[in-house]
Amino acid sequence: MRVPLIAGNWKMNTTVGEAIKLVKEMLPRLDEIDGVEKVLCPPFVSLAALKELIKGSSIKLGAQNLYFEEKGAYTGEISPLMLANLCEFVIIGHSERRQYFGESGELIGKKVLAALKVGLKPILCIGERLEENEAGRTEEVVTEQLRSSLAEVKKLDGLTIAYEPVWAIGTGKAATGGQANETISLIRHFISQLYNRSVAQSLRILYGGSVTASNSSEFIKQPGIDGALVGGASLDAKQFLSIVKQTSEISQTR
């Protein structure tokens, strides 16, 4: 049984004060929802304060990025070792990192390895752009992203994949549950070829792209979808709580 995971990607939003306020708004109710792993991914600067705030709760923290080197002359970067004491998860290869910061599959692969080496759990994002989708190239694109990002990764323990079609991120134009499930099945099949069937069956694969409280159940109900990476809606305590609650209820009926 794969435990569903709902992760909130706050992106470059919230000051430390705003982050604390947002967590305080959801903390008691979020904490008591069970059967779902709940992960908040605030900006780096809020991780330490939120770690204190969520101490003793069932809520977990993730970072939104890292650099693959342990330390050194890499001005402005954050290393896996620095994050290892602050959070459990780390988003890697988000489409905004690929698009605005030119991250390649090879670089993303190094980041995945570096995260796993210090015991961080990567949430590896993959997904096709609109023109690739329209050209019928979705499978080719996501499998190539997986191939390059996992080239040196021998064991997937701790890793989660988030399938996020780029055309659905922040656009309000989500995929349908059926579309997402279909691509996620292809991804799982590809993972079973790269590794083996049991690795593929135990790997969590999330959907991400304009998930809200109104459409989240459509995704969570799909047999192959193990949760969601939520952007915009994770900045709204009510919506995020509702998404997690619905996920918990659906998972209990499985």
Catalytic residues: 94, 164
Binding map of ligand PEP across residues 122-161, x = CB under 6 A, - = no contact: ----------------------------------------
Measured distance CA(122)–CA(67) in Å, rounded? 13
Among 66, 169, 191, 220, indicate the residue that binds ligand PEP (CB under 6 A): 169
CB 24 to ligand PEP: min, Å: 22
Residue 30 or 254 having the CB closest to ligand PEP: 30
Among 54, 230, 244, 250, indicate the residue that binds ligand PEP (CB under 6 A): 230
Counting residues that bind ligand PEP (by CB under 6 A) gives 14
Residue 8, beta-bridge partner list: 40, 230
Return the range that interacts with ligand PEP (CB under 6 A); candidates 27-35, 43-51, 78-86, 162-170.
162-170
- Asked if 232 is part of the footprint of ligand PEP (rule: CB under 6 A), the reply reads yes
Residue with tokens 């890499």: 74
Region label for 118, one of left (φ > 0), alpha (ψ between -120 and 50) or beta (otherwise) = alpha
Q: Which residue is nearest to ligand PEP (CB)?
A: 231
Write out 54-68 in H/E/C secondary structure: HCCCCEEEEECCCCC
Distance from first CA to last CA of the chain, Å, rounded? Answer: 10
Measured distance CA(162)–CA(146) in Å, rounded? 11
Q: In this structure, which long-range contacts are made by residues 172-177, counting pairs with CB atoms below 8 Å and at least 24 apart in sequence?
A: 172/210, 173/210, 174/209, 174/210, 174/211, 174/212, 174/215, 175/207, 175/209, 176/218, 177/218, 177/219, 177/221, 177/222, 177/225
CB 154 to ligand PEP: min, Å: 27
CB 55 to ligand PEP: min, Å: 26
Tokens of 91: 């988003």
CB 224 to ligand PEP: min, Å: 18
Q: Helix (H, G, I), strand (E, B), or coil: what is residue 200? A: helix
- Asked if 170 is part of the footprint of ligand PEP (rule: CB under 6 A), the reply reads yes
CB-CB contact of 239 with 233 (8 Å) = yes
- Asked if 62 is part of the footprint of ligand PEP (rule: CB under 6 A), the reply reads no
Return the range that interacts with ligand PEP (CB under 6 A); candidates 18-26, 40-48, 133-141, 164-172.
164-172
CB 229 to ligand PEP: min, Å: 5
DSSP structural state of residue 86: T
Residue 69 or 95 having the CB closest to ligand PEP: 95
Please give the residues from 200 up to 229 whose contact with ligand PEP meets the rule CB under 6 A. 208-211, 229
Q: Report the interface residues with ligand PEP, using CB under 6 A.
A: 9, 11, 164, 169-170, 208-211, 229-233
